[in-house]
Every structure is written in C-alpha cells, then in structure tokens.
Amino acid sequence: MKRHLKKYFLFILIILIDLLLRWKMPAAGSTAISSSVDYLVEMLLFIPPIFVLVGLLDVWVPRKIVEKHVGPDSGAKGVVISILVATAAAGPLYAGFPVADALLKKGCRLANAVIFLGTWATIKIPMLMMEIKFMGLSFALTRLILTVPVVIFIGYLVEKIVEPGKGHSEVKSA
C-alpha cells in the first residue's frame, strides 16, 4: 500500500493541485483538468495495443540471433542485425545495458554494442508509433532518417577511441 502511494505520489499531488485550482481559479482549473483528461483518453485509446506489440516483439525476436551474428568480423551484417533486434526490444535504455554487456562478453564488436544501445534508446518500433501519433509522420521520419547514420557513426567513433588499433572488443566489465 505504502509502495503504491509512493509510486502515485506525483499523480495524487497533481489531483490535489487541480482541485485547489478548480476552487480558487475556476478557469485555469478546468483548463488543466480538461487538457489532462483529453490526453489521458487519447493515450488510453491506443496504448494497450502498443504494449501488446511490445510484448509480442519481445518474445518472438530472439536475442540469440545477435550473439551469433555480431562478432568481431561481422561487418555490415552485424550492424543491420544489431539495429533490427534493438528496435524490437522492450524497456528503457538502462534495460539495454545488461544485454549489450552480454553481447560484448560473447565476443561482439564494440561498435556493434554501441549501435545496439543507440538503437535501443532511439528507434524502437512501438515508440515510433507513439511518435507518429503525437508528433506527426514527417517529424518521426525525419528523426528516423537522421538517427540511423548518426547511431552507426557514433558506434565506430566510440570503438576507435575506446579501443584504438583494435577491431574488436575485450572490454572488461565490472
């Protein structure tokens, strides 16, 4: 109960502020409440299917594929697979750390691990749907088109600096 209360603290606080506003400044109060309700309805209408997609992608896209194909000599194929698998993953960036770490331990190239993390953070499929919905198709597409080369470039750049003279990784991990 206490844990729940803590999780919903912000929400409860906002409801109290909304009520106070409603009472002291009725105009602002009803604007606040009605905009929040509008956003809530809009999100509840399509968030459930997005989460179902997240779950389906997560169980059906095997991360083992990555382990097989992103080794030291993997080249372009490794990059493509890193990107594809990361776009299907569920969870925030920090949930990607242990996955990338496991990849490195299995001999994956450092650049591919960085690319994997970068993709994980920026272009997951369900996330793109959310982006299209709220920011519009041209915004989402422009960001996507810019992100892919940038993420790949950062991957190779980080590899060059962290492991100068080495094509593959033996990063020690804590």
Partner 1 sequence: MFNIILFALTLAALIYSFKKDRQKTRQALKIAYNSFRNILPNMLGIIGMIGLMLALVPRETIEGLFGNNSPLGILIISAVGSVTLIPAFIAFPLAASLLQAGASIMAVSSFITTLLMVGVITAPMEIQYFGKKFTIMRNVFSLAAALGMAVIMGVVLK
x-or-dash pattern for partner 1, window 78-107, by CB under 8 A?
------------xxxxx--xx-xx--x---
Residues 48 to 67 in contact with partner 1, rule: CB under 8 A = 48-56, 58-60
- Distance (Å, whole) CA 144 – CA 119: 10
Residues 116 to 155 in contact with partner 1, rule: CB under 8 A = 117-118, 121-122, 124, 126-127, 129-135, 138-139, 142-143, 146-147, 150, 153-154
Q: How far is the CB of 10 from partner 1 (least distance, A)?
A: 3
| Contact between 31 and partner 1 per CB under 8 A | yes
**113 class by beta-carbon count within 10 Å (0-12 exposed, 13-18 middle, 19+ buried):** buried
Q: Which two three-digit tokens encode residue 62?
A: 């095997």
- Distance (Å, whole) CA 139 – CA 56: 26
Give the number of residues in contact with partner 1, rule: CB under 8 A.
81
Residues 82 and 119 sit within 8 Å (Cβ to Cβ): yes
